[in-house]
A and B are shown apart, each in its own frame.
Chain A
């Protein structure tokens, strides 16, 4: 599948020694009639080839908005990127002209969405929607494009690909549809794949199949994967690193095993403690009190302080806590991270 890669127009300034993806101090706001919602307030992320980064957080914490900003498909208006940079192999995507930005999508960075039924166009066959990528980006004929579409369906293990290529999205089952989405995202052999809650809409058994297919394809292609999810179970299985987001900021970043063993932010800790566990059967489950903040009125200081058991007056005062280095490759945005991490480990 890499033979046609050469045809891609090379991005000017592409530096193969630079980091695969690096997001720095990204800021996004939504300007609505009732006020400005600050969805992303200085997010830093990085990703290497073959690596899986999980972005974890509640609805509205800004994880999907981050993904859309990286893809360049933020709805604008109301969404505006107000600061920061997104660098792909050294090229700042935010300063690229629209035409080049467009070619980055699908060719270099691709995305899988949560609900494949609504994410696929209902009135075109999956063959058309897959082949379209080759026709638009590679200038292939309809016939060649269809041949490639069949290969892709084979790749994601859809049985009888030759017949099914003419079917419409509603004729597939949920799991098969998500496979079509994966095929579509990987069609042009991107180096970065963003999967936004790829299994949330699926049955548990199908979820496992889709995740193992994704992991397999990622390994084959040495692709960087950003997995956006609120499902801690999925994360533990496949992720290398975790970034926990709260109110538009990354509050903790750590290798996956470290974070389960010794969370260094009260929010992460609370998330872990709220997972039902067999060894704690019969005990009261800890839940996080309160609600995520209204993004038009994010609390001063640490955004989590109204819900935090460790909070003291320093947490209520601006500026919000900076990143503290917990260990090599590990950061937490909490004044009291030593106390949090020093407590009884959440998972033994």
Chain B
């Protein structure tokens, strides 16, 4: 195969994936928007929850959400707002964009820390488990993953705060205004457990399957050391499904961040959303959820493209 042909295949794959991503983007935002506004008798009251709605606020909101226009036009305005970075104003009269700008660095720090913790632990233990399947380490790991899978974040976050923060005092129980890595360590670990169990299991299954494959036998016949067979040949193949998983996990992490940031008082995106839900601030919830959905879709698109770089077979579907 010539180089130009190869580049062309790659290019076609990228274009196809980006187009699919765009389709998913419009589809998903449309559904989210429809969930929020379609067929309501009084959408504004839903936005505002149970609090009374003064006439001037009602008028401002009607204008803001173009509620006098047909639904599809409303969606058009909403999309234009999203794409131009205009996310609206909360019921407390703050710009959602500004709130977001203050909040996201904290959340990104938290999420990255969680991903690093999750990947380090799950890839290491997944590989060991996959190599020594049925051994004591594997059995213990499997039981731990079962327990992790069964602990919803609403259980884990308050309990972790209780044991490690309040009783043992290893970590601060709440994070405070501008949390550093140490303050974020406990909540990040809690967040990491959300995705760790699945990542361990996927790594383990994929290592075990790859170890049995023919190319491992070839690698051994080539006189490669066990370390190289596993560290180069098996690892590269086994990480492919794990990396795709991290993209999907981001959705879980964002959802988990709402609870975790709420419980640990971390002033991030999740905390704002948590407060928005509790105070029934509809516009805030709508704005923040929209942004998170966009982030989720974009990250998954990037992961998909990364996948093609890692696995040469995928370009030739």
Contacts and interface: CB of A to CB of B under 8 A. Distances in A.
A166 B219 CA distance: 19
B132 to A, nearest CB: 12
B164 interface: no
Contact of A120 (B218, B220, B240): B218
Nearest to B213: A118
A125 B228 CA distance: 17
Interface residues of B, number: 26
Interface of A: 71, 73, 102-107, 110-111, 113, 115, 118-125, 132-133, 136-137, 163-164, 166-168, 170-171, 181, 184
A329 to B, nearest CB: 30
Contacts of A73: 217, 220-221
A167 B1 contact: yes
A122 B313 contact: yes
Given A73-B217, A118-B214, A136-B224, 16 more contacts: A71-B221, A73-B220, A105-B220, A119-B218, A121-B215, A121-B237, A122-B215, A122-B312, A122-B313, A123-B237, A123-B310, A123-B311, A124-B233, A132-B222, A163-B2, A167-B6
Contact of A113 (B214, B224, B313): B214
B217 A163 contact: no
A332 to B, nearest CB: 32
Contacts of A71: 220-221
B316 interface: yes
Nearest to A190: B223
B275 interface: no
B242 to A, nearest CB: 14
B222 A105 contact: yes
Contacts of B217: 73, 113, 119
Given A115-B214, A168-B312, A122 B220 contact: no
A110 B221 contact: yes
A122 B237 contact: yes
A277 to B, nearest CB: 35
B225 interface: yes
A121 B228 contact: no
A167 B224 CA distance: 22
Contacts of A132: 222, 224
10 contacts: A71-B221, A103-B223, A105-B223, A110-B221, A113-B217, A119-B214, A121-B218, A121-B236, A163-B3, A166-B3
Given A102-B223, A136-B228, A123 B214 contact: no
Contacts of B3: 163, 166
B1 A106 contact: no
B225 to A, nearest CB: 6
Interface string B229-254: 00001001100100000000000000
Interface in B1-43: 1-3, 6
Contacts of B215: 118-122
Contacts of B237: 121-123
A132 B218 CA distance: 12
Given A121-B233, A123-B240, A124-B236, A170 B221 contact: no
Instruction: Please provide the 8 A-B residue pairs with the shortest distance between their CB atoms, ordered closest to farther.
Output: A105-B223, A118-B214, A106-B223, A121-B215, A168-B312, A119-B214, A73-B220, A111-B221
Contacts of B213: 118
